[in-house]
Amino acid sequence: MSKTISGFSKLSKSKKIDWIVSTYFANQEHTKTILKQYWNSNEQLQQLHDEFIENTITNYYLPLGVAPNFLINDIMYTIPMAIEESSVVAAASKAAKFWLERGGFKTTVISTTKIGQVHFMFHGEPSHLKAYFKAIKPQLLQAVKPLSKNMEKRGGGILDIELRDKTAAIANYYQLHVSFETADAMGANFINSCLEQFAKTFKAEALNFEGFTTKEQQIEIVMSILSNYVPDCLVRAEVSCKVEELTENKSIPAEEFAKKFVQAVNIAEIEPFRAVTHNKGIMNGIDAVVLATGNDFRAVEAGVHAYASRNGTYSSLSHAKIEDGIFTFWMEIPLALGTVGGLTNLHPLVKLSLEMLHKPSAKELMQIVAVAGLAQNFGALRSLTTTGIQEGHMKMHLMNILNQFEANAEEKATLIHHFKTHTVSHSAVVEAIEKLRQ
């Protein structure tokens, strides 16, 4: 059977499902039942989700969990997290509680500048281009006034436009490198709209510029797009306490734990194989909150990992030290987030998540998200340097294995009790289920 189809997006939802089901599935009725099980019975709500993207056939659920007891700059938060990995919310909650008793998390927003670029080619004399840019700059800013007016009212706008000569890397390649402040919006649409207007005006006005005479001297726009690399949209999160207060894990003295913890961070600072996993643990916390608050986790991921490589080698985002008997653990991380616009006004669960966080500004959300990342990293390193990760991880994963074997409530209760005192592994759980069912 042919697997290509034209005009798919124009079909009704049920016709789309019919095509998918008859093309790819052996048990068509069963497949349809599953797809429909995930539809929302509230038609309006379902339509809202259908219309987020094209070709929606059903909803894809992730659990929305909460991690309470986060003290951030002396304010208490319960942090919403949308994530499927079983141990993440538990680890965040545990780290929150640990630091609650030791003064909580301290955060500061270092900067909030975002970048966008118009990439273009110019074959003429560089000094003519410079003269044109100087002459046209006020007009460029004027041309985006209808777009930037509202943003300016909210404290944002265009901070600067620079002409950048990139001809050493690619012949005839230049950029308009634009910096933006987007206040409480993530700002992608605002930035891209401004850039496209800059490109249009920049190209069109060049035709009238007296310094440009020949056709080769005209501007060829390649593309206009924001950058997800935001090294100047930076937030810092930190925890610290006396070394002797690092006592929670009874299996290891505080001084030894502090030393091992710093060693683990130092390893991630110099060893990319470890740094990637170390930072992945940070992103477990970050992505979960970014997703719960309706932000773009792909943008955040891309920007964060680029930042982790900013010195030429991929390295740890977090750092730790012991100085004068004080243990300090901190992280600076670029986060371009919004609390207005996009999904934040649309998705009912996103609205609830933001309300749970005291309706934060974008700057406040940057601080909360950074804390979730640092807490997650603390939890992972604490386990790794003491008991090992599998103990806690497999305990949390137990329920997934039980569900895989369709354990009923009674079986679950018995086995959860059993594994309180036995090591969880896939085979040990399978064995225990089989024994119970004999």
Q: Which residues are catalytic?
A: 85, 280, 296, 393
Please say which residue, 92 or 380, places its beta carbon nearer to ligand MEV. 380
Closest CB 250 distance from ligand MEV, rounded Å:
21
Please say which residue, 140 or 290, places its beta carbon nearer to ligand MEV. 290
Q: Rg of the chain's alpha carbons, rounded to an integer?
A: 27
Closest CB 391 distance from ligand MEV, rounded Å:
12
Closest CB 79 distance from ligand MEV, rounded Å:
17
Q: In the numeric block, which tokens belong to residue 213?
A: 């005479």
Closest CB 28 distance from ligand MEV, rounded Å:
37
CA distance 175 to 194: 15
CA distance 153 to 161: 20
The CA-atom distances, in angstroms, between 419 and each of 233, 395, 422, 425 are: 45, 8, 5, 10
Closest CB 387 distance from ligand MEV, rounded Å:
12
Q: How many other C-beta atoms are found inside a 10 Å radius of the C-beta of residue 42?
A: 10
Q: What angle do CA 64, 369, 355 make, to 5 degrees?
A: 55
Of the candidates 272, 289, 283, 302, the residue with the CA atom closest to the CA atom of residue 339: 289
Please say which residue, 280 or 319, places its beta carbon nearer to ligand MEV. 280
Please say which residue, 220 or 391, places its beta carbon nearer to ligand MEV. 391
Evaluate whether 268 touches 313 at the Cβ level (below 8 Å).
no
Please say which residue, 227 or 383, places its beta carbon nearer to ligand MEV. 383
Closest CB 280 distance from ligand MEV, rounded Å:
5
Please say which residue, 199 or 290, places its beta carbon nearer to ligand MEV. 290
Please say which residue, 294 or 373, places its beta carbon nearer to ligand MEV. 373
The CA-atom distances, in angstroms, between 218 and each of 125, 139, 170 are: 11, 18, 17
The CA-atom distances, in angstroms, between 268 and each of 246, 279, 311, 315, 320 are: 21, 9, 14, 6, 11
Please say which residue, 116 or 281, places its beta carbon nearer to ligand MEV. 281
Closest CB 84 distance from ligand MEV, rounded Å:
11
Q: What residues make contact with ligand MEV under the rule CB under 6 A? A: 85, 277-278, 280-281, 284, 380, 384, 389
Of the candidates 79, 61, 78, 59, the residue with the CA atom closest to the CA atom of residue 284: 79
Closest CB 154 distance from ligand MEV, rounded Å:
37
Closest CB to ligand MEV belongs to which residue? 281
